[in-house]
Chain A
């Protein structure tokens, strides 16, 4: 019996390994070198299992494919193709030590020797600790998911050490800005002034929640409560009860975990008469109306960056969306997450431009070139501040832009803010009218 068992388990393990080898090998590197010239390697170390991470990698691959189709980038007069190498840091899973994610990043840098890294850390905590690694290995690092402003502070404090890190996506203060503008509109239009904030217990969400709370209090709102939920929590009834008892008119959720969709469902079943306005990652994709069976109606949600949500005011974003649909299919495109893919796609173009301008892959020259960037991307106009953050604003002609939208019947996402990209206005959902 024992021997048979052992045999069976060895066979099972072998099959498992073989399957894994088949699947694991497939997506670890792509964008095969187009010509004979040595490729320029771009590293993507992120949480590939997370929706944002996976989408961002696909956006990067799309951009690389487009650039390679045109012959690649020219370095010192020689046309060289781009090549993407990715590694899964698993950092979105609760219980994965930061050190584990760092080990993955270090493995990528040491073994594949990328000329630059895009997408980068998923969690702010990992970004902060990766900065030491990046400084040690001197690799230009364009982060497009992690959002903490703390990294900018460090860049300012010790510029020469940390100058390799750039952020192309929204950061927490800009997010607060978008949310507060949205609240301002809601307050004016419907005379609402009672809000309840629920946030996920992670750095960026708490920072955003605290920033928004400050703004609300300074602008005549009453914040009835602010609760933090651990990543992975799935019962929100205590906050909803308190929100209902406190007669909150707006509930501001700030979450990037799939479980946060339950908040919507639970609020509906508990009949909480409040408008939901904030960020709930599972309710961003175009398929959300169907998955939630219409229960997302009225939810005001946002795309941190234009791109995955094509807006007419930025033709490039429409182009990106169509390109993405062609390569990965309509369904994948409509499932694009609200944070990451847009800037990740732009990051590759930005990098290609910087390499051509610098005329070399030498890190310090690249950093200078990236810093001097001024280009039109799918997220709007891209320009960096002194602390290496892309400027976000309300006009895509002048700055990079995010977009606030509302779910409206019969299942469409209507951009409502900023005015430059808006195609509609925030309306009260049917259960509040």
Chain B
């Protein structure tokens, strides 16, 4: 029973990690911007959806859709207002986005969005038994959404014109410019897409718990851990990184106790960067960037 529950919950947790990190990883992979406001965007979309549902009484589908759109706009705005003036100075990009993220999170804390009432309802209530382990529908839905998003992401970056243009940009900016891809436009789009992914992840995952400020910081760290572990740009690396982390976290939590869970991904960041900076599936290009 415990063994099965590690298998099942490991799968759920891995998907959650992958979904959480997807937006950050996509933005980083496409435009090289490490969007430290990822956690802020994640929580922001959760709160937006909550406010639309509870203050305006909008129907669920509309509120969800609007929250995703708002997150995309917020992502694009962050690029236009904050990153564009300092584009290329990596440190300033990081500091500026980090400041935006923390500002969003702490603003909500100040507004008093901290109690248990701030929770999103699961899409479908109830649970089902899989191999003797009770799993709620929401977690199953998350696995579905995670797989769907991974597939869509792969298709988008490998098969569509826009996706290819963005990847071209990330591989060689000057060549891409010379064939008529505009750098700022591409980067704005990548930030907006990162926002969309953050919102999708938030709206799927937040119903499991409550919307609390700490989650914003945690999400950023998880995104960093998964991205560092899995290497950049490749969807496969992201998924692999998420699974390694997800299972090791679930195992640690069961064997050593829940207080060790957060230690796992922090250790992962430190160890991977210290020992194998290119990540699990990284290639030489990334190695050159990191070392």
Contact B114 A234, beta carbon cutoff 8 Å? no
- Partner-binding segment picked from B38-46, B163-171, B205-213: B205-213
Give the shortest distance, in Å, between A95 (CB) and chain B (any CB).
Answer: 8
Report how many residues on chain A are interfacial, defined by Cβ distance under 8 Å.
38
Contact B109 A93, beta carbon cutoff 8 Å? yes
Given A201-B259, A228-B258, A269-B136, decide whether A51 and B115 contact each other with a Cβ distance below 8 A. yes
- Partner-binding segment picked from A60-68, A111-119, A258-266: A258-266
When distances are taken between beta carbons in the complex, the residues of chain B under 8 Å from A269 are 126-127, 134, 136, 138
Interface check A241, CB cutoff 8 A: yes
Partner of B210, one of A236, A259, A287: A259
Instruction: Report the bound CA distance from A5 to B257 in whole Å.
Output: 49
Partner of B134, one of A2, A261, A270, A288: A270
Instruction: Report the bound CA distance from A235 to B209 in whole Å.
Output: 8
When distances are taken between beta carbons in the complex, the residues of chain B under 8 Å from A69 are none
Contact A234 B210, beta carbon cutoff 8 Å? yes
Give the shortest distance, in Å, between B283 (CB) and chain A (any CB).
Answer: 34
Instruction: Report the bound CA distance from A118 to B254 in whole Å.
Output: 42
Contact B112 A291, beta carbon cutoff 8 Å? no
When distances are taken between beta carbons in the complex, the residues of chain A under 8 Å from B133 are 241
Instruction: Report the bound CA distance from A247 to B250 in whole Å.
Output: 21
- Partner-binding segment picked from B1-9, B58-66, B174-182, B264-272: B1-9
Instruction: Report the bound CA distance from A328 to B261 in whole Å.
Output: 41
Contact B127 A2, beta carbon cutoff 8 Å? no
Instruction: Report the bound CA distance from A232 to B214 in whole Å.
Output: 6
Give the shortest distance, in Å, between B242 (CB) and chain A (any CB).
Answer: 15
Residue of B nearest to A226 (CB): B257
Contact B2 A242, beta carbon cutoff 8 Å? yes
When distances are taken between beta carbons in the complex, the residues of chain A under 8 Å from B127 are 269-271
Contact A258 B210, beta carbon cutoff 8 Å? yes
List A residues 225-267 near B (Cβ within 8 Å): 227-230, 232-239, 241-242, 244-245, 258-259, 261-262, 265-266
Mask for B108-127, Cβ within 8 A of A = 1, else 0?
A: 01101011110100000011
Contact B116 A238, beta carbon cutoff 8 Å? no
Given A269-B126, A282-B116, decide whether A262 and B209 contact each other with a Cβ distance below 8 A. yes
Contact B115 A282, beta carbon cutoff 8 Å? yes
List A residues 279-307 near B (Cβ within 8 Å): 282-283, 287-288, 291
Mask for A79-100, Cβ within 8 A of B = 1, else 0?
A: 0000000000000011000000
Instruction: Report the bound CA distance from A389 to B109 in whole Å.
Output: 34
Interface check A49, CB cutoff 8 A: yes
Mask for B211-243, Cβ within 8 A of A = 1, else 0?
A: 011110010000000000000000000000000
Residue of A nearest to B254 (CB): A238
When distances are taken between beta carbons in the complex, the residues of chain B under 8 Å from A291 are 116-117, 119
Give the shortest distance, in Å, between A44 (CB) and chain B (any CB).
Answer: 18
Contact A229 B259, beta carbon cutoff 8 Å? yes
Contact A234 B115, beta carbon cutoff 8 Å? no
Instruction: Report the bound CA distance from A230 to B112 in whole Å.
Output: 21
Residue of A nearest to B129 (CB): A271
When distances are taken between beta carbons in the complex, the residues of chain B under 8 Å from A235 are 13, 208-209, 258, 261
Residue of A nearest to B126 (CB): A269
Interface check B183, CB cutoff 8 A: no
Residue of A nearest to B136 (CB): A269
**Residue with the highest number of chain A CB atoms closer than 10 Å, among B85, B116, B135, B212:** B116
Contact B9 A237, beta carbon cutoff 8 Å? yes
Interface check B81, CB cutoff 8 A: yes
When distances are taken between beta carbons in the complex, the residues of chain A under 8 Å from B261 are 233, 235
When distances are taken between beta carbons in the complex, the residues of chain A under 8 Å from B286 are none
Instruction: Report the bound CA distance from A283 to B115 in whole Å.
Output: 11
Interface check A1, CB cutoff 8 A: yes
Residue of B nearest to A230 (CB): B259
List A residues 17-47 near B (Cβ within 8 Å): none
When distances are taken between beta carbons in the complex, the residues of chain B under 8 Å from A239 are 258
Mask for A377-421, Cβ within 8 A of B = 1, else 0?
A: 000000000000000000000000000000000000000000000
When distances are taken between beta carbons in the complex, the residues of chain A under 8 Å from B212 are 232, 234, 258-259
Interface check B253, CB cutoff 8 A: yes
Residue of B nearest to A263 (CB): B209
Instruction: Report the bound CA distance from A220 to B210 in whole Å.
Output: 37
Instruction: Report the bound CA distance from A234 to B9 in whole Å.
Output: 14
Contact B257 A262, beta carbon cutoff 8 Å? no
When distances are taken between beta carbons in the complex, the residues of chain B under 8 Å from A258 are 114-116, 210, 212
When distances are taken between beta carbons in the complex, the residues of chain A under 8 Å from B109 are 49, 93
Given A227-B258, A236-B258, decide whether A49 and B112 contact each other with a Cβ distance below 8 A. yes
List B residues 57-98 near A (Cβ within 8 Å): 81, 85
Residue of A nearest to B106 (CB): A93
Give the shortest distance, in Å, between A59 (CB) and chain B (any CB).
Answer: 18
Instruction: Report the bound CA distance from A288 to B117 in whole Å.
Output: 9
**Residue with the highest number of chain A CB atoms closer than 10 Å, among B81, B109, B115:** B115
Residue of A nearest to B213 (CB): A93
Residue of B nearest to A229 (CB): B258
Instruction: Report the bound CA distance from A235 to B218 in whole Å.
Output: 13
A-B pairs, 6 with minimum CB distance:
A282-B116, A269-B136, A232-B214, A234-B209, A238-B253, A261-B116
25 A-B pairs in the complex with CB atoms less than 8 angstroms apart: A5-B81, A93-B109, A227-B258, A228-B257, A229-B258, A230-B262, A232-B214, A232-B218, A233-B261, A234-B215, A237-B5, A237-B9, A241-B1, A241-B5, A241-B133, A259-B209, A259-B212, A259-B214, A261-B116, A269-B136, A270-B127, A270-B134, A271-B127, A282-B115, A291-B116
